[in-house]
Amino acid sequence: MADSLASQIITAIGGPENVRSLTHCATRLRFELADASKVDQNALEHMKGVLGAVPQSGDRFQVVIGGGVATVYENIMHLPEMANAGAASASGEGQKSNADVKAEARSKARGKVAWLDSFFEYLADSFRPILGVLLGASIIIALVNLLISLNVIPNDEASAGWVFVKAIWKGVFYFLPIMVAYNAAKKLKVDPWLGGAIMAILMTPQFTSLIDAKTTTCVENAALGTKSCTANIFGIPMALSDYSGNVFVPLLMAAVLALVYHGLKKIIPESVQLVFVPFFCMIIVGALTAFIIGPIGVWVGNGLGVGLAWMNTHAPFIFASSSRCCTRSSCRSACTGRSTPDAHEHPDARLRLHPGPDGRVELRLLRRHRRRALHRRA
């Protein structure tokens, strides 16, 4: 019986005793080896299931697998011969987890401004796990948009079946804040379910129904075409907003939650932390998010949206040029923002994710703007 791909890779890499640590990114296995000269690069490059082999500086080596890299990684880590891999490393701490190896590698590659590196690392780790879901939903939107542009269907709600299809992709973007909050909390070593639960408070029917309460007052903004409402909560004014699809609020909330969570763990006895740490976090951070963090996040999103709208009107070539950068690996994560659910209803749309005017992800209609830019250039 032929050896599995996992076994073949370990053999070509120099055997399990040559592996000091192993992690993976979106498409590659990342090895830190005891001796890189033992690698049979030719065997790896001609191995079925391997797309390439890339030597790195020092004793690091990368094996390109593609989209199935996570499965191959798990298969390698479950090989019997990999049970003691890394035990001979200088640290003597034995095998490290995927996250530990990544964190250690990043700490060695910090730039001069450490806090800036940490900030972008926080953003990347908050979105990276849900890229597949975002892309899957975007493909559904693109297919629906294609059918509309070909006049196969008049709109995305032409029948009950198409309403169901809309619900498939809209569910991703509507509950995007909860997904981001989960990942952001996990990144900051906070119970991720706690982060998701706090963000879910602002998306419950009970919270959204506050806009119809008798004590709620609303003001129309003719300039932006929006309506701002304020509810009276125990005598305290609370600004109400639609938080579906917003990514700024969960990112800010998770940062505050981390401070409160770790602070409470220092003062609450360990025997009752399981109950009282989540209890106080939900009360404290939930209230802070509803009264302060949420409105600030929406305000930041609105400011960014207004700035992008101004740039799109006065300098549309910036969007045309920036869209090309999204084909590069360094910019791909920046293009996975958020999407306004109804953007795909325009049949003349070139779909791409950009921050929207209220902090949501928008599927930017690039084709229309590009024609405008070309017309001005002519």
Q: How far apart are CA 156 and CA 164, in angstroms?
A: 9
- Give pLDDT < 70 ranges for the chain: 1-2, 84-113, 222-225, 316-378
Ordered structural domains, the chain, with CATH: 5-109 (3.30.1360.60)
**Cβ(5)–Cβ(66) under 8 Å?**
no
Assign 31 to helix, strand or coil.
Answer: strand
Q: How far apart are CA 301 and CA 307, in angstroms?
A: 10
User: If residue 125 lies in a helix (H) or strand (E), which one and from where to where?
Assistant: helix 114-127
For helices 176-187 and 192-201, the axis angle rounded to 10 degrees is 150
Q: For residue 338, which of 167, 134, 158 has the smallest C-alpha distance? A: 134
Indicate the pairing of strand 60-64 with strand 226-233: unpaired
Residue 87, pLDDT score? 45
Q: What is the DSSP secondary-structure string of 163-224?
A: HHHHHHHHHHHHTHHHHHHHHHHHHTTS-HHHHHHHHHHTTSHHHHGGGGSTT-EEEEETTT
Amino acid residing at 324: R
Assign 62 to helix, strand or coil.
Answer: strand
Instruction: Kindly state the tokens that stand for 357.
Output: 């005017």
Residue 292, pLDDT score? 95
Instruction: Kindly state the tokens that stand for 243.
Output: 């938080």
**Cβ(58)–Cβ(36) under 8 Å?**
yes
The length of the chain in residues reads: 378
Q: What is the DSSP letter of 2?
A: P
Q: How far apart are CA 39 and CA 30, in angstroms?
A: 13
- CA torsion angle 109 9 43 4 (round to 10): -160
**Cβ(245)–Cβ(173) under 8 Å?**
yes
Residue 301, pLDDT score? 78
Residue 119, pLDDT score? 86
Please, what is the Cα angle at 102 between 98 and 105, to 5 degrees? 140
Residue 236 bridge partners (DSSP):
233
Q: For the chain, how big is the Rg over CA atoms in Å?
A: 25
Instruction: Kindly state the tokens that stand for 310.
Output: 């101004």
pTM over 0.95: no
Residue 264, CA atoms < 13 Å, CB-side half-sphere:
23
Alpha-carbon distances of 14 from 52, 53, 85, rounded to whole Å:
17, 14, 12
Q: What is the DSSP letter of 40?
A: -
**Cβ(99)–Cβ(105) under 8 Å?**
no
Residue 51, pLDDT score? 93
